């Protein structure tokens, strides 16, 4: 078990910041997901923690020790990459044993630790297989075992399942979560898949352009996004651009009371926070399409101004394409210049109703 502290870490490539003044503390046994679009600096940050990239500034500590300038082999970290880079001329056992042999451990201990690692990743009988005879998922399990066998204090996973199909990815991430919890190993997991982050993480760090947008548990990220970027990046979100005057939105469909200073605002509401009434006004919105997902229906609604909203309704709902409707928001967020400035009653749990947030 270990504690990781990243303090004001930056990485410059030429004159461009890949990571800028980044700080994060990860507690003993915690699993934190780094989530963000391509190029937001997730891999660079992970590589700096693993020692594969040198920070341009800042400090990285593991427990009491400053590891900022240590090479990878002198850090108590284990890294699993997207491309697993297993040795094809060795069987599974020897791939996993390699790092232990470098440490000149006794043969009997190596055997025991490799066998334990194989059992841990569900490959107990695969020791003598060549790695070329394994499926993609099995190869990633071997890569994970190869890291775990060295008993790192911190496990670093860089999109380890990105090349696998959806079904396998879901299964493996559950296995990783189980293993991580069983071992209580402090873990950082890089992904650009929001589902992966929501399913795995104790906390999510949403990154954008090398900076932190928000650090919070998954449910907080979903229910109380602090920026419009986070609101749009995690889950599905409807955005409506408007103005407030005297505490009211001047959008014809959403004349909501919003106690903020006059000015431009972006209203945002989740599909499940929309209610829809049938309307016969010609300037009402129109149902464009409904898609039945079994557990719920998604309804695309075209507004008179050409924008489109998504609403989630019950599977037995009778809405059909072409119907005239009036959508309204049961709960919503208000952003100005990317920052959350007001949140109405939340969809479920979360902040207090009608909470005015500091700008």
Ligand X SMILES: Nc1ncnc2c1ncn2[C@@H]1O[C@H](COP(=O)(O)OP(=O)(O)OP(=O)(O)O)[C@@H](O)[C@H]1O
Contact status: 36 vs ligand X (CB under 6 A): yes
Contact status: 43 vs ligand X (CB under 6 A): yes
Q: Which position has the token pair 């932190």?
A: 212
Contact status: 208 vs ligand X (CB under 6 A): no
Smallest gap from Cβ 53 to ligand X, in A, equals 8
Contact status: 38 vs ligand X (CB under 6 A): yes
* Other Cβ atoms closer than 10 A to 120: 19
124: Cβ contacts below 8 Å, ≥ 6 apart = 115, 118
Contact status: 15 vs ligand X (CB under 6 A): no
Q: Which stretch binds ligand X (CB under 6 A): 37-45, 255-263, 275-283, 328-336?
A: 37-45
Contact status: 42 vs ligand X (CB under 6 A): yes
Phi and psi based region of residue 78 (left: phi greater than 0; alpha: psi -120 to 50; beta: remaining)? beta
- Residue with smaller CB distance to ligand X, 38 or 108: 38
Q: Which stretch binds ligand X (CB under 6 A): 31-39, 61-69, 270-278, 284-292?
A: 31-39
User: How many residues bind ligand X, per CB under 6 A?
Assistant: 11
Q: Which of 3, 21, 39, 279 touches ligand X by CB under 6 A?
A: 39
Q: Which stretch binds ligand X (CB under 6 A): 42-50, 66-74, 129-137, 349-357?
A: 42-50
Q: Which position has the token pair 């075209």?
A: 302
- Residue with smaller CB distance to ligand X, 18 or 123: 18
Contact status: 41 vs ligand X (CB under 6 A): yes
The DSSP output letter for 273 is G
Contact status: 13 vs ligand X (CB under 6 A): yes
Q: Which stretch binds ligand X (CB under 6 A): 41-49, 108-116, 250-258, 303-311?
A: 41-49
Token pair, residue 310, equals 């998504």
Cα end-to-end distance, the chain, whole Å: 38
- Residue with smaller CB distance to ligand X, 162 or 347: 162
- Residue with smaller CB distance to ligand X, 166 or 307: 166
Distances from the Cα of 98 to the Cαs of 91, 102, 125, in angstroms? 11, 6, 18
Q: Which stretch binds ligand X (CB under 6 A): 36-44, 59-67, 122-130, 318-326?
A: 36-44
Smallest gap from Cβ 191 to ligand X, in A, equals 8
Would the CA dihedral through 257, 261, 263, 269 be positive or negative? negative
Contact status: 192 vs ligand X (CB under 6 A): yes
Q: Which position has the token pair 């903020």?
A: 260
What is the rounded CA–CA span in Å between residue 329 and residue 260? 18
- Residue with smaller CB distance to ligand X, 40 or 331: 40
CB burial class (10 A; 0-12, 13-18, 19+) of residue 71? exposed
- CA-nearest of 144, 102, 89 to 119 is 144
Contact status: 57 vs ligand X (CB under 6 A): no
Contact status: 50 vs ligand X (CB under 6 A): no
Contact status: 76 vs ligand X (CB under 6 A): no
* Other Cβ atoms closer than 10 A to 73: 11
Contact status: 18 vs ligand X (CB under 6 A): yes
Residues in a beta bridge with 297: 292, 313
Distances from the Cα of 248 to the Cαs of 242, 244, 260, 265, in angstroms? 10, 5, 9, 11
Token pair, residue 324, equals 């005239």
Q: Which residues bind ligand X (CB under 6 A)?
A: 13, 18, 36, 38-44, 192
């Amino acid at each position: 078990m270990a504690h990781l502290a990243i303090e004001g870490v930056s990485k410059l490539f030429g004159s461009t910041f890949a990571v800028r003044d980044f700080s994060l503390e990860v507690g003993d046994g915690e699993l934190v997901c780094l989530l963000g679009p391509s190029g937001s600096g997730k891999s660079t940050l992970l590589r700096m923690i693993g020692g594969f990239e040198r920070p341009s500034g800042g400090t990285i500590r593991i427990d009491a020790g400053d590891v900022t300038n240590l090479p990878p082999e002198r850090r108590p970290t284990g890294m699993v990459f997207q491309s697993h880079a297993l040795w094809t001329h060795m069987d599974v056992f020897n791939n996993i044993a390699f790092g232990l042999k470098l440490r000149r451990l006794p043969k009997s201990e190596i055997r025991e630790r490799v066998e334990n690692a194989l059992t841990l990743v569900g490959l107990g009988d695969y020791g003598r297989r060549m790695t070329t005879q394994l499926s993609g998922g099995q190869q990633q399990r071997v890569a994970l075992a190869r890291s775990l066998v060295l008993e790192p204090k911190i496990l670093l996973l860089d999109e380890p399942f990105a090349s696998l199909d959806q079904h396998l990815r879901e299964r493996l991430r559950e296995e990783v979560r189980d293993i991580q919890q069983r071992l209580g190993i402090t873990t950082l997991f890089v992904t650009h898949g929001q589902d992966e982050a929501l399913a795995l993480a104790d906390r999510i760090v949403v990154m954008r352009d090398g900076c932190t947008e928000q650090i919070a548990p998954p449910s907080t990220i979903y229910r109380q996004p602090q920026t419009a970027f986070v609101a749009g990046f995690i889950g599905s979100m409807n955005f409506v651009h408007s103005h407030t005057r005297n505490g009211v939105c001047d959008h014809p469909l959403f004349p909501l009371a919003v106690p903020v200073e006059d000015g431009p605002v972006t209203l945002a509401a989740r599909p499940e926070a929309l209610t829809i009434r049938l309307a016969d006004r010609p300037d009402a919105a129109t149902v464009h399409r409904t898609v039945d997902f079994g557990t719920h229906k998604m309804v695309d609604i075209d507004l008179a101004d050409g924008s489109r909203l998504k609403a989630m309704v019950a599977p037995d709902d009778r809405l059909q394409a072409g119907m005239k409707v009036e959508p309204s928001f049961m709960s919503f967020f208000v952003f100005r210049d990317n920052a959350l400035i007001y949140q109405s009653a939340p969809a479920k749990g979360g902040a207090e109703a009608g909470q005015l947030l500091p700008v």
